[in-house]
Structure 1
Amino acid sequence: MRISGSGRSARRRVSQADIARQAGVTQAAVSMILRDRADSIPEATRQRVLTIARDLGYRADPLARRLANGRSQIIGVFTYEKVFPVAQRTFYHRFLLGIEEAAEAHDQDLLLFTSAAGRRTGRSGEVRTIYAGGENKLRLADAAVLLGRDDIPAELEQLCAEGYPFVFIGRRFLTDGREVPNVAPDYAAATRALARRFAALGHRRIAYLGADRTLPASVDRLAAIATSGLDVHLHFAPVTEIDGTLLHRLLDTGVTGLMLENSEYAERVDGLAAQMEAGRDSRLSVAVAGLTEEDSTPWSGFTVPGRRIGHLALEDLLARLEGAPPGCRLVPCPAAPGRTLTAVPPGHS
């Protein structure tokens, strides 16, 4: 006995060639009619082709239609470390929201790369790799937005050598010092402005608390602080290691203000200050050098415009696909007045 396949359910997809044969026209004519570009074809012929296509159950192959234009109209989003699920207040939330909104506005689909982490270890634990298995998996998309605290410089080198269009959210550099295409917050300008606000309120000695001095964002902040004229104590440690002993020591050295890397540090300091011994003037003026757009006041400082950066990253990629040269863009960070950056009390030096 010979067993056949699954019958009609397994029949092959109806092609444009099938329609052309039944309609007695060329396949090129069918293609033009189905793409609504048949201005030179008689209306009777157009209607006959459309009727046959409908009767045969023709369904266009969306990928083939896109690739006919030389592109998939898919933009990749690759993160070096896990950022999903994304809570409302996480640092990545607004970047991703901006990317999504811009993709919709430009009729692009997004492809999220979330493969298992590689064997490399970064600041945030295991990090993903673009070249898992030796191949650039981003090539499934026309271009890609890259995010993450960690990166693999050798992979960025290879992407540049291949000419694959990408943009990093945040400043990143190759081993020879060249900056890769990116859209980044202008941390340097915003930090200079914040330092001037400290100085205008009478602060002369402040402390900067953050997690990692080697991050490009930290490098930009520290370069700006170094030229501020303020006496700055630098302290880098995980937020969980910031304690009351440190705050007392800073007060004892004459520190009157704190510039903090993000609102996590601000919330930590706020909780510790409330626990400090009664009767002692332990007030510290606080400003945050990197609020997210979801951080509520009262924090003073400046805000990272993540949503706008996400928009610009995707738009820069699309311009690159149209022939624009790769480039780098710094986005201004709006000041947040808040209520935590205050004048030095009388009697403090």
Structure 2
Amino acid sequence: MVVTYADVAKRAGTSTAVVSYVLNDGPRNVAPATRERVLTAAAELGYRQNRIARALRSGRTGLVGVLTPDATIPYFGELTRAIVRALGDADRFALVSHAAVSGRSERQAIEALLSAQVDGLLITAFWPDQELPVEIDVPVVYVHHKPDGVEGLLVESDNTHSVRAAVEHLRSHGHGAPAFWAGPDDVGPTGERTRAWAALVGDDGTLYRSGYSSGEAAAEFRRQHRLGTPARSLVVASDVQALGILSAAYQLGVRIPDDLAVISLDGSAETAFTAPPLTVVRQPVESMAARAVGLLTGRPDAGESLGSLIVRTSCGCDHDV
């Protein structure tokens, strides 16, 4: 049996108009006690909102497109999950597209999400600077990174704060200026982290670069080892690179942290289970997600997004697993 507004109104002892105001979140306010009666009646009757009908009435679908490059990358997986939870808390439904996994470009993925009549977009993926983005005609908030020259708000972590926390902690172990392991270029947040490190250590630090996969980082670490240019302490821009470095160090007999102290700057959950467990600056994915959803839904949060140092073993500290 299909449950209607009239059924809910009869159970709640109110009018169908009031039921509509409650279930469609407006356009008029309803007293809290009446609202609670309507919601209770709807739940007892098993009322299910017709999203298509609601969209026709309000001009909104309640759908928000979420674009991420690849959820198998731990950091982006955690960020995407945090965004989906935050959207659920805001009574929105996430329509998630993984551009890299689907084989589509970011442009194609955005076009597909827009064709689904989403009310807005939350984008964590980014495209090369030379590729022009598709024209977006709904509200959009970028999370983690916003390409140059595009419209939209950005919610990001304070990368300078994260780098400073890592550098100061390694210096507290008496290592001097730590080296930095960056990406192949200085685009986006990794570039911000690289520049923050350079400003802190000046000419005293060594900069290494590799691609963002664990395999590329491991290969470059082995090459640097053959060249005889080992660092004593190292800040790594991403967890995926750090995993490759730990693997190559183990194969080469480089002891972590005795020979090389390491801190990674993403802080995904998997880093607690490496050998040894990685000291990290955990990025505030939950607060970033909440701020992004707030901006998209008109409930902005002015709080800062600061990473937090999580001390384990790879930096040289004692750590009880």
User: What TM-score do you get using the length of structure 2 for normalisation?
Assistant: 0.69
Alignment of 1:304 with 2:283, yes or no, is yes
The offset of 1:198, in angstroms, is 2.2
Match of 1:77 among 39, 61, 66: 66
Q: 1:331 aligns with which of 293, 305, 309?
A: 305
Structure 1 residues 317 and 250: alpha-carbon distance in aligned structure 2, compared to 1, 3 A threshold: farther
**Cα drift, residue 339 of structure 1:** 1.6
1:167 aligned counterpart, secondary structure: strand
Partner Cα distance (1:226, 1:333) in 2: 19
Cα gap change, 1:36 to 1:190, in 2 (>3 Å): closer
1:174 partner letter: D
| Per-residue CA distance 1:152-202 (angstroms, 9 max, x = gap) | 66327x33xx4x211111131433xx7741211222211012112222322
Between the aligned partners of 1:319 and 1:107, the Cα distance in structure 2 is 13
Identify, as 1 or 2, the structure richer in helix. Answer: 2
Query: What runs of 5+ residues in structure 2 fail to find an aligned partner?
Result: 7-14, 23-29, 31-47, 211-215
Q: 2:258–2:316: 8 Å Cα contact kept in structure 1?
A: no
User: How has the CA–CA distance of structure 1 residues 332 and 34 changed in structure 2, closer, same or farther, with 3 Å as cutoff?
Assistant: closer
Alignment of 1:244-323 (within 5 A): 244-247=222-225, 249=227, 251=229, 255-276=231-252, 283-296=259-272, 298-319=277-298
Moved more, 309-318 or 146-155: 146-155
Matching residue of 1:200: 172
Q: CA deviation at 1:34?
A: 6.7
Q: 1:103–1:314: 8 Å Cα contact kept in structure 2?
A: yes
SS at match of 1:339: coil
Return the offset for 1:63.
2.0
Q: How does 1:1-349 map to 2 (within 5 A)?
A: 32=17, 35=20, 61-79=50-68, 81=69, 83=70, 86-87=71-72, 90-113=74-97, 117-118=103-104, 126-130=105-109, 132=111, 137=114, 140-150=117-127, 154-155=132-133, 158-159=135-136, 162=137, 164-175=138-149, 180-229=152-201, 231-237=204-210, 238-247=216-225, 249=227, 251=229, 255-276=231-252, 283-296=259-272, 298-319=277-298, 331-342=305-316
- Secondary structure at the aligned position of 1:290 is classed as coil
Give the AA of the match of 1:91.
Y
Higher CA-based Rg: 1
Report the TM-score when normalising by structure 1.
Answer: 0.64
**Tell me, what secondary structure is at the counterpart of 1:71?**
coil
For 2:226 and 2:278, the matched residues in 1 are separated by 21
Q: 1:10 aligns to what?
A: none
Q: 1:332 to 1:293 in 2, by over 3 A?
A: farther
CA distance in structure 2 between the aligned counterparts of 1:264 and 1:224, rounded to whole angstroms: 20
Does structure 1 conserve the Cα–Cα contact (< 8 Å) formed by 2:238 and 2:266? Answer: yes
Q: Does the Cα contact within 8 Å between 2:218 and 2:247 map onto a contact in 1?
A: no
Q: Is the 8 A contact 1:96 1:307 kept in 2?
A: no
Q: Which runs of 5+ in 1 are unaligned?
A: 1-12, 20-29, 40-58, 119-125, 344-349
Q: Which moved more, 1:207-216 or 1:284-293?
A: 207-216
| Cα RMSD after superposing both structures | 4.0
Specify which structure has the bigger relative contact order, considering alpha-carbon pairs within 8 angstroms and separated by 6 or more residues.
1
Change beyond 3 A, Cα 1:189–1:147? same
